[in-house]
């Protein structure tokens, strides 16, 4: 029987030791877990094909937050000419309100850089998400009326300037 030594402990990532989620690139092998989180998070979830399309775009950034082998959440962001568009952010219901989404967005901004602005749409009723985005520096810039097809809810347009 082998005991874990000091060198093994020191080689572990800081996130593993502190209990914080690790953030890495989202992989095709994550998609079953992504679909599970997506279906538990949204009334009109994305299809598997939509995630495959976004993952296949070379200009996009798709990230996963994990602890061990467990997927806690993800962010999908696409680059268009002169803007980054945050397309989808979700965290498993049992992992919410622990900084997972904030960590994903912060890492996204760090990886993409601040040369171009970021934009996103969020349901006007999603006060928790709006508050999180505001804490991260996003500002409201208008409303898209009846943006969400499932119930006709408006979307708040938010921007994080470069």
The reply to whether 28 belongs to the active site is: no
Read off φ and ψ for residue 134, nearest 5 degrees. -65, -40
**Burial of 3 by CB count in 10 Å (0-12 exposed, 13-18 middle, 19+ buried)?**
exposed
- Among 121, 147, 148, 153, which one carries the catalytic annotation? 121
- Among 38, 111, 133, 134, which one carries the catalytic annotation? 133
**Burial of 86 by CB count in 10 Å (0-12 exposed, 13-18 middle, 19+ buried)?**
buried
Alpha helices (H) in 3-151, listed in sequence order:
6-11, 14-18, 31-41, 48-56, 100-112, 127-135
The reply to whether 133 belongs to the active site is: yes
Number of helices and strands in the chain (H, E)? 6, 7
**Burial of 135 by CB count in 10 Å (0-12 exposed, 13-18 middle, 19+ buried)?**
exposed
Read off φ and ψ for residue 118, nearest 5 degrees. -115, 145
Catalytic positions, written as ranges: 121, 133
């Amino acid at each position: 029987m082998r005991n874990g030594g000091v060198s093994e402990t020191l080689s572990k990532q800081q996130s593993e030791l502190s209990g914080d989620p690790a953030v890495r690139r989202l992989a095709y092998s994550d998609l079953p877990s992504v679909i599970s989180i997506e279906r538990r998070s949204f009334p009109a979830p994305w299809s598997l094909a939509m995630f495959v399309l976004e993952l296949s775009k070379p200009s996009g950034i798709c990230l996963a937050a994990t602890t061990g082998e467990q997927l806690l959440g993800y962010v999908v962001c696409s680059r268009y000419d002169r803007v980054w568009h945050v397309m989808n952010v979700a965290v498993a219901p049992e992992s919410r309100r622990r900084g997972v989404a904030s960590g994903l967005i912060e890492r996204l901004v760090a990886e993409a850089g601040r040369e171009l602005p970021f934009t996103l749409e969020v349901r006007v009723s999603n006060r928790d998400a709006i508050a999180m985005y505001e804490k991260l520096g996003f500002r409201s810039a208008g409303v898209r009326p009846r943006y969400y097809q499932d119930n006709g809810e408006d979307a708040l347009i938010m921007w994080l300037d470069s």
